[in-house]
Amino acid sequence: MISVFQTSGFLILFPFVVALLVVLQKKDTRLRRVTVIGNGFLIMAAAVYTAVCTLMDGQEILFKPSSEAALSAAENTILVGEIFLLLVVTVLSIRYKKYYCILIGALGTCPILAMDFLGLMPEHETYLRLDPLAAVMYLIAGVVGPLICMYAVGYMSDYHHHHTDVQDRTNVFLALLFVFLGGMFGLITSDNLVWVFFFWEITSVCSFLLIGYTRSPEAVNNSFRALWMNLLGGVGFSAGILVLFWMDENHISSLSELNHVGIAGPVVMLSVTLFAFAALTKSAQFPFSRWLLGAMVAPTPSSALLHSATMVKIGVYMLIRLSPQFYGTFTGVMITVLGGFTFFAASLLAISQSDGKKVLAYSTISNLGLITACAGTGTTEGVWAAVMLMLFHAVSKSLLFQTVGDIENNMGSRDIEDMHGLVIKLPRLALIMMIGICGMFMAPFGMLVSKWAALKAFVDSQSVWLVLFLVFGSGSTLFYWAKWLGKICTVIHQSVNLEDETHGSELISMVPLTGLIVVMCFAFPLMSNTMVQPVLNTTFNKIVPNVIGGSDVIIMMIMVTMIFLVPLGSRFLSVGAKDKMTMSYVAGVNAGDDRHYIDSFGKSRSLYLANWYMEDYFGEKRLLMPCVGISAILVILMVLIVMGGVF
Amino acid sequence: MAVSIIIRVILYVLLAPVIGGLLEGLDRVISARMQGRQGPPIVQPFYDVYKLLNKQTIVVNSIQVLFIMAYLIFTVFTGALFFGGGDMLLVFFSLSMSEVMLVLAAYSVNGPYSAMGAQRELLQMMCYEPMMLLLAIGFYVAQGSFMVNDLIGATRPAVIALPGMFIGFAFVLIIKLRKSPFDLSTSHHAHQEMVKGLTTDISGRDMGLVELAEWYDTTLMMGIIGMFFVTANPVSYLFAILACAVVFFLITLVDNTHPRVKAMHMFGITWLVVLVCAGTNLLILNLIK
């Protein structure tokens, strides 16, 4: 029997080793592919093992590295690592003349470093922790994350085939993905706040490097935007640590102590607020959403990783950790309002986008807003919905990104307008995409079920404004997903099948994810019992009744079954097989392929059907800056008022 | 309990198309009288659908049929969920799923009128979706349950606590039943600039199925109107039926007196009405509690 301590230690360190192995193999050889895919599966196995053991145990376990020597080695590594990260930021900022990033980076890291060198750091009690929430995060990062790394192997070779202007640094790219995973496992497992901060900064810098991969001016610009926003979050985080060290008499130095503090005084509340502020930047809530929108310039695997398994999930993970402290507080209310607002605003903005990746980005922001709002309520139902949403979102979103990436490699475009008739052009990818999209918004798939729980949570906690944000946001969510779905489902006559060049390594990732979406539909009562309930039990120290139960579950099962039976049944019974086929009606003579008609001069004219984007109403030009402005004011207000409670 | 649910569901599946068809016939007669015409007999819709079902079906592609079948099945399912006493939120989620199926059927044909109708239908859904969800929440806050089974056993009619919701719902019902001024996606009247919109490329048996689904849908909507008045007291059902009659008549009246508005105009008005009526109602309800 291997202990979970060993596997979790392995999970933190091993991805860095893999990264090193990958970065040394510059050429796209079979060995590199095997390294990535094999080690990916190894990480996945270790993560699932750790998660299952922890969930079966159902307890919170605090532990530290096995020996004093290992502990001090870890402490020193983290110290050196922090300096290294700061150096990376400094060098790149100087090279690209973005000096403000150095300032922000130093502002976050230097106080922590100074304290460490001056020996002012209080003695730590705990360093690492495993509990059900960490286990759930292990599953998200450890299953979806490695799948994305494997997908990247095939994707990147296609990518460089199509983008000859970009220098091939695939080895660096793949290595960064693994570093990211290592950082992610470290962050989830760390309990000591300084350690959390270190891994927090790793992910910030990693995402910065990934976004800037192509080194085009746009990529550089966007990567620095991501960098400064995330470093600003880091500043908030380190400020939170300092407040706890110096101003609170309990000298809290770990997350678990923070959780067990009971009713928080104004000082603790200030640091909770600062951590929440950091979480808002990471999970790209308004006003910090623009970094995530810019992140799509990078190759798709990095987007998939940032959006689903890692980066943005860190923010909401942090909020869920803090959620018991939010209940009934001013900070909690502000976090819910910001989350609800982000959900609503981002879903409106998504309507106006025709770039597939951008719609996905807005949808991520919007869904994370919902999770943020749920965590902010600090109620058990809210946290239930938050964890569920996180799980479903990770799977659906990474699948959608991968599909869009593949479609782009196959058709040379990721614009939704060009996906017209995808079901004929690339049937396999279209089917995967349809399942992914349905997973995002339709009953009875997971996201909607969780949204339903969220709605109940908001009603029960009497947050009427939040309910309003949620119902109106749901309306626009339906609109932008359904019109995309419609575009894919369009059947064009006499259209040719494009050659589907999807790599084997990409299918290794996409097929299991598609399967997961379907399985998770059926398995969600099980997931609720075995994964989410333990989280609630340890977070709130009490047994929580099932949020959605009994007859509803049965009815939803019937619905899921029907969704899959209707297509099968109609094929089996060959419904409509004898119907006469014709062309669609174009108020004239259809020229025979649904894309041309004969005009009054007898000429054949082409016909093009576009979706509605309603730029004038929901466009970025009109909505984005006001949204950023409003939410920025809210964030500043939140921090100032909480500070006012202390000083 | 289980037996009574099954009986109610079976009754619904059998009777709903009859009620829906009669309501449509009634609508035609009333409309005709408002316009000073004699109008068709009240059972005319049944003749129409019977004829449609027996006509040759012409399809544009093979998946169109699939979506239409799914539309019908999910609409019937939604109604069964409601009349069987299920969860109101689930009813509305299932309802929007069935609507999406119809939209996909229109999208799949790749025709200009169908595509335009599909977009408009989606916009209409975006308009009424918030109201539907708010309605379920309103019932929950006022009466303490999402389950229709519990709601019909209430001690006082829900409309007393939810007048704003009632107005809001009656308003979006104009959109849901595709009546002027909000019949943007498709219409029963021959004054469309976009042929039959959503259903342009649907014909024969498929069109008959769509009509049938609409009847089920109308019955469900009337059931929800009734929910505002139903209590444990059997007499309340009379009031419920009366309320349905009044709302239905008013919608027909509006249909005949108001020209169609532009899409974004509809969007603005509806969200405003829903926010003001239903939102305020919910806010006040929460304060009183």
Render pLDDT for A452-481 as a digit per residue (tens, 0 to 9).
Answer: 888 888 888 888 888 999 999 999 999 999
Q: Report chain B residues whose CB lies below 8 A from the CB of A482.
A: 100, 103-104, 122, 125
Q: How far apart are CA B88 and CA B148, in angstroms?
A: 6
Cis peptide preceding B163, ω within 30 of 0: no
Looking at residue A45, its pLDDT comes to 96
**Which tens digit of pLDDT belongs to each residue from B45-97?**
999 999 999 998 888 888 888 899 999 999 999 999 999 988 898 899 999 99
Its sign, for the CA torsion B54, B59, B63, B64, is: negative
CB proximity under 8 Å: A 336-375 to B: none
With beta carbons under 8 A apart, name residues in chain A contacting B58: 579-582
User: Across residues A209-224, what is the average pLDDT?
Assistant: 94
Asked if the model's pLDDT at residue A432 lies above 70, the reply is yes
- Distance CA(B173)–CA(A461), nearest Å, equals 30
Query: Is A399 exposed, middle or buried, given 0-12, 13-18 or 19+ CB atoms closer than 10 A?
Result: buried
Range in A335-349, A414-428, B162-176, B260-274 with the lowest mean pLDDT: A414-428
Q: Which of A444, A448, A486 sits opposite B118 (nearest CB)?
A: A486
Cβ contact B119:B184 at 8 Å: no
To test the contact with chain B by mutation, choose from A435, A465, A472 the residue with the greatest count of B C-beta atoms within 10 A, namely A472
Contact yes or no for A555 and B81 at CB 8 A: yes
Q: What is the pLDDT of residue A473?
A: 94
pLDDT band at B192 (very low <50, low <70, confident <90, very high): low
Report the C-alpha gap between B39 and B52 in whole angstroms: 20
Q: In chain A, whose CA is at the least distance from the CA of B144?
A: A460
What's chain A's length in residues? 647
Residues A478-521 pLDDT 10s? 999 999 999 998 888 766 777 777 788 888 899 999 999 988 88
Give the type of residue at A423: V
Report pLDDT for A258.
85
C-alpha A606: how far from chain center: 41
Strand ranges of the sheet holding A596-598, from the earlier edge strand across to the other edge: A589-590, A596-598, A604-606
Is B93 in Cβ contact with A443 (below 8 Å)? Answer: yes
**In sequence order, what are the residues at sequence separation of 6 or more whose Cβ sits closer than 8 angstroms to the Cβ of residue B147?**
B85, B86, B87, B88
pLDDT confidence bin for B190, thresholds 50/70/90 = low
For the cut 80, the answer to whether the pLDDT of residue A572 exceeds it is: no
> In whole angstroms, what is the distance from residue A566 CA to residue A575 CA?
11
Hey, how many other C-beta atoms are within 10 angstroms of the C-beta on A326? 28
Span B148-166, average pLDDT: 92
Domain chopping of chain B, boundaries: 2-288
Burial of A259 (0-12, 13-18, 19+ CB in 10 A): buried
CA separation, residue A496 to residues A9, A418, A593, B146, B229 (Å): 52, 14, 11, 49, 57
Number of Cβ within a 10 Å radius of residue A417: 15
* Dihedrals phi, psi of B179, to nearest 5 degrees: -105, 150
CA distance A633 to chain B (A): 24
Closest-CA distance, A280 to chain B, in angstroms, reads: 27
**What pLDDT shows up at residue B1?**
67
**A91 Cα to chain B: minimum distance (Å):** 49
| Residue among B66, B123, B137 minimizing CB distance to A459 | B137
Residue A262: what pLDDT? 73
Of residues A554 and A192, more confidence is placed in A192
Helices (H) and strands (E) in chain B, counts: 11, 1
pLDDT score at A485: 94
Length of chain B: 289
- How do A596-598 and A604-606 pair as beta strands? antiparallel
**Is residue A606 very low, low, confident or very high in pLDDT (cuts 50, 70, 90)?**
confident
| Contact assessment for residue A297 and residue A226, using Cβ atoms and an 8 Å cutoff | no
Return the SS3 of A270.
helix
pTM: 0.95
Average pLDDT over residues A179-185: 95
Count other Cβ atoms within 10 Å, centred on residue A610.
Answer: 12
| Cβ of residue A589 closer than 8 Å to a chain B Cβ | no
Instruction: Give the amino acid at B165.
Output: M
| Nearest in space to A206 (alpha carbons), one of A302, A139, A290, A286 | A302
Contacts for A589 with CB less than 8 Å, ≥ 6 apart: A597, A598
Which of A71-85, A104-118, B54-68, B208-222 has the highest mean predicted lDDT (pLDDT)? Answer: B208-222
Residue A206: is its pLDDT beyond 80? Answer: yes
Q: What is the mean pLDDT of residues A577-597?
A: 79
pLDDT given for residue A453 in this prediction: 83
Contact B175, B273 (CB under 8 A): no
Contact A398, A147 (CB under 8 A): yes
Does A13 score more than 90 pLDDT? Answer: yes
Instruction: Compute the nearest-CA separation of B277 from chain A (Å).
Output: 12
* Residue A333: predicted pLDDT: 92
At A59, the pLDDT band (50, 70, 90 cuts) reads: confident
State whether residue A613 is helix, strand or coil.
coil
Cβ proximity of A548 and B87 under 8 Å: no
Which residue, chain included where needed, has tokens 């919910």?
B282
* Least confident stretch, A243-257, A326-340, A537-551: A537-551
Give the C-alpha separation, A294 to A61, whole Å. Answer: 39
- Residue A355, strand partner residues: A415
**Closest in A490, A586, A612 to B119, CB measured:** A612
**In the structure, what pLDDT confidence band is assigned to residue A55 with cuts at 50, 70 and 90?**
very high
Give the tokens for residue A238. Answer: 């380190």
Structure tokens at A396: 């659906």
Find the mean pLDDT for residues B184-195. 75
Distances (CA, A) of A380 to A138, A374, A464, A520, A536: 21, 9, 18, 22, 7
Tokens 């049929």 locate to: B65
Bridge-based pairing of strands B58-59 and A580-581 is parallel
Confidence of residue A179 (pLDDT cuts 50, 70, 90): very high
pLDDT per residue as tens digits for the range A355-400: 999 999 999 999 999 999 999 988 888 898 999 999 999 999 999 9
DSSP characters for A317-347? Answer: HHHHHHHHHHTTSHHHHHHHHHHHHHHHHHH
Tokens of A76: 């020193």
Percent of chain A with pLDDT over 70: 97
Asked if the C-beta of A262 comes within 8 angstroms of chain B's C-beta atoms, the answer is no
Q: Which of B9, B107, B192 to mutate to test the interface with A (most CBs of A within 10 A)?
A: B107
- CB of A452 within 8 Å of a chain B CB? The answer is yes
For residues B158-164, average pLDDT: 94
**Reported confidence tier of residue B196, pLDDT bands at 50, 70, 90:** confident
The pLDDT, as a whole number, for residue A448 is 84
pLDDT at A260 over 90: no
User: Distance from CA of residue A561 to its chain's centroid?
Assistant: 29
- Cα separation, A50 vs A31, in Å, equals 28
User: Which DSSP string do the residues of B213-274 spell out, in sequence order?
Assistant: HHHHHHHHHHHHHHHTT--SSTTHHHHHHHHHHHHHHHHHHHHHH-PPPPHHHHHHHHHHHI
Q: Is the pLDDT of residue A549 over 70?
A: no
- The CB-side HSE value for A40 (13 A sphere, CA atoms) comes to 24
Check CB contact of A556 with chain B, cutoff 8 Å.
Answer: yes
Q: For position B64, what pLDDT does the model report?
A: 87
- Spatial contact of B111 and A586, defined as CB atoms under 8 Å apart: yes
Q: Which residue in the block uniquely carries the two structure tokens 């130095």?
A: A253
Q: Does any CB of chain B come closer than 8 Å to the CB of residue A594?
A: yes
Where exactly are the structural domains of chain A?
4-543+609-646
Is the CB of A617 inside 8 Å of chain B's CB atoms? yes
Q: How many CB atoms lie within 10 A of CB A485?
A: 21
**Kindly report the CA angle at A261 between A257 and A265, in degrees rounded to 5?**
130
Which H or E run includes A529? none
For A556, counting Cβ atoms within 10 Å of its Cβ (0-12 exposed, 13-18 middle, 19+ buried), the class is buried
Chain B residue with the nearest C-alpha to that of A492: B110
A471: which chain B residues are within 8 Å (Cβ-Cβ)? Answer: 129-130, 133-134, 137
Q: Which residues of A touch B107 (CB under 8 A)?
A: 485-487, 489-490
Please write the tens of the pLDDT for every residue from A87-118. 999 999 999 999 999 999 999 999 989 888 88
What per-residue confidence (pLDDT) applies to A247?
Answer: 82
